[in-house]
Structure 1
Amino acid sequence: MRQLPDGLRPDRPARSDRAFVTLVTNADYVLGARALLRSIALTGTAADMVVLHTAAVAARDLDGLRDLGARLVRTELLPTSAAFNTAHSRRNQHAAAPFTKGEKPTFHTPLDNFVKLRLWQLTEYRAVVFIDADALVLRNVDRLFDYPEFCAAPNVYEGMADFHRLNSGVFTARPDSDTFADMLTRIDRPGTFWRRTDQTFLEHYFPDWHGLPVTFNMLQYVWFNMPELWDWGSIRILHYQYEKPWQTPHPKAQELAPLIALWQAYVSGGPIPALDTLPAAA
């Protein structure tokens, strides 16, 4: 088995030169990854499904992800300074840049978000597509492997003014050790604060990022904020930004009930409803 850089430890060799990659750093996101992995597998892709995970995730939880076809790659937080880590702790990051349009759950740990940059170390893959663990792939999206680096959808869920900002819940990348090393030189400089963690950093690192259609990263708040954009016939990836569909109690359970029910169908292992039978946004 090929040893990946800087101690990344895969549980098996790669089976493809392309991979869907997600990140799991606690038990809550294991639950999200279960639904995501099943959704990807049901699209019929031949690409690998890779779960980057930290030591905080229990072995029994990882076994469940492996059973769903995931290739597990253990990794660590980035080697950032104590000042950087303090600034991006949950308490300090949320205080300096509070979320005013939705609620992040208590298990959201901002510093963990930067671990997704380690996918640039997965150099045995020609191309990767990163997808946050709080998402579902509703249709085959293998075409994304042929898109250039760096592509992401705009962070649109409230109004058209947000088209200039990207959302890092879905993006295309080309693993490269030099790129990762360069990222490390830029991410942690004196006084650095990334307002939305990895998302803000990636927007800064790739200022000429290519825009994907919003249908490749449809944010759940579009459902009630911009229903005219919601079309089940065209959505490829559904992203549960802010509140997660497994939260109990869920602060927006009534507003997002059809989307939560769809996620529950995937995570339960039961039948998936046909998208054309789902209610329209209103």
Structure 2
Amino acid sequence: MLFLSIITISIVTKSKDDTSQGSNMAAFVTLATNDSYARGAMVLGKSLRNHNTSRKLVALIGPQMSDPCQSALKKIYDDVRMVDVLDSGDAAHLAMMKRPDLGVTFTKLHCWTLTHYSKCVFMDADTLVLSNIDELFDREELSAAPDPGWPDCFNSGVFVFRPSMETYGKLLQYCTEHGSFDGGDQGVLNGFFGNWATADISKHLPFIYNLSSIAIYTYLPAFKHYTFDPKSKQIAGDVHEASTHPTFLLEWWTLYSSAVVPMLQDMYGDQPFHSGCVEDGSLSSHAQALQPQMSSEERKEKWEQGQADYMGMDSFDNIKRKLDTFLK
């Protein structure tokens, strides 16, 4: 959700000042393999623009993406490139022959082929930016935040890297020889950059750069399982999930409905598409979806699991109000 890595490279040597010589030398990069992820990438791109990033925006997309979504992404991103390891015939294709189980992982590794840029920050398409984060480009490869479930590993949803064909080749070789301990890109990258936990603390990003309020990794379930009413600013959907991050979820949907949906409507034209938004106020009966009533025992379990609703029921103001009432 919200929600919100390095080895020595010899192929190209660039000074730290490379990223300050012009915004074209550095870029935020994301990956969207289909239309659902494309919508998340659109929100990510808009949130970066809204917080006045000075860097370029790059989107790697899959061949399954529709033309309207590709067109919308091109209005937000400076550079939209299609990647397809299954049919590309390049080194990734050869690696796929040995490890077809890592298809999506190989696609993400294409980030290292963006050698037009000296330094990049990768961000999963489900990420929402809450403030300007251009200072991340002062970090070195591979800088990332600890994973909430495995603190000795980094979370691969946000990381700083330097594009390099040499590193790309070594990553593909690592994939074919060692695979992934979790079946995805996070396992591959943590295996390859295996000294991240102990080698250099400066490459440990503060958790606020990749914050997941309930330790889940994607906005996509939120998109699939919720419906949003832009007029009433109400969300209906899975009550359990909505209770854990209502503020961030609402911010994502507000940006999506106000900036992305109108763009998609223009791109789709007369073609029907499901935006996930309603305009007739039909969600009014679900106004409590974001504020479900939990028993004291359920709230206690949430606290013990580290899932207190800090933005809602368990906010500081509410706790203080309760204490003030008790002390009186």
Cα distance, 1:165 vs. partner? 1.6
Give the TM-score taking structure 2 as reference length.
0.61
User: Is the Cα contact below 8 Å between 2:114 and 2:163 reproduced in 1?
Assistant: yes
1:215 equivalent in alignment to 2:208: yes
User: Is the Cα contact below 8 Å between 2:113 and 2:168 reproduced in 1?
Assistant: yes
DSSP-derived class of the 1:188 partner: helix
Cα distance, 1:220 vs. partner? 2.6
Match of 1:68 among 60, 76, 89: 76
CA distance in 2, matches of 1:176, 1:280: 44
User: Is the Cα contact below 8 Å between 1:23 and 1:133 reproduced in 2?
Assistant: yes
Paired amino acid for 1:112: V
CA distance in 2, matches of 1:63, 1:15: 23
The corresponding residue for 2:62 is 54
The corresponding residue for 1:241 is 218
DSSP-derived class of the 1:172 partner: strand
Q: CA RMSD in A?
A: 2.4
Change in Cα spacing, 1:140 to 1:242, as seen in structure 2 (3 Å) is: closer
User: Is the Cα contact below 8 Å between 1:114 and 1:197 reproduced in 2?
Assistant: no
DSSP-derived class of the 1:156 partner: coil
Paired amino acid for 1:48: K
Instruction: Please say which of residues 166-175 and 259-268 is displaced more in the overlay.
Output: 259-268
Cα distance, 1:45 vs. partner? 1.2
DSSP-derived class of the 2:249 partner: helix
The corresponding residue for 1:126 is 118
Paired amino acid for 2:132: N
DSSP-derived class of the 1:247 partner: helix
The corresponding residue for 2:250 is 261
CA distance in 1, matches of 2:127, 2:184: 19
- Gaps (5+ residues) in structure 1? 1-13, 89-110, 223-238, 271-277
CA distance in 2, matches of 1:52, 1:281: 39
**1:13-162 correspondence to structure 2 within 5 Å:** 16-77=24-85, 78-79=92-93, 80-82=95-97, 84-85=99-100, 87-88=101-102, 111-156=103-148, 162=150
Paired amino acid for 1:244: P
DSSP-derived class of the 2:159 partner: strand
The corresponding residue for 1:275 is none
Paired amino acid for 1:31: R
Q: Which has the larger radius of gyration?
A: 2
CA distance in 1, matches of 2:31, 2:105: 8
Change in Cα spacing, 1:176 to 1:192, as seen in structure 2 (3 Å) is: closer
CA distance in 2, matches of 1:281, 1:197: 35
User: Is the Cα contact below 8 Å between 2:37 and 2:220 reproduced in 1?
Assistant: no
Paired amino acid for 1:165: C
Match of 1:206 among 193, 202, 207: 193
Structure showing the higher helix proportion among its residues: 2
Structure showing the higher strand proportion among its residues: 1
Change in Cα spacing, 1:221 to 1:243, as seen in structure 2 (3 Å) is: farther
Cα distance, 1:196 vs. partner? 4.1
Among all aligned residue pairs of Structure 1 and Structure 2, give the percentage whose two residues are the same amino acid.
28
The corresponding residue for 2:174 is 186
CA distance in 1, matches of 2:108, 2:83: 10
CA distance in 1, matches of 2:50, 2:131: 8
User: Is the Cα contact below 8 Å between 2:180 and 2:191 reproduced in 1?
Assistant: no
DSSP-derived class of the 1:169 partner: strand
Paired amino acid for 1:147: R
Change in Cα spacing, 1:215 to 1:255, as seen in structure 2 (3 Å) is: closer
CA distance in 2, matches of 1:43, 1:116: 25
Cα distance, 1:247 vs. partner? 1.6
Give the TM-score taking structure 1 as reference length.
0.70
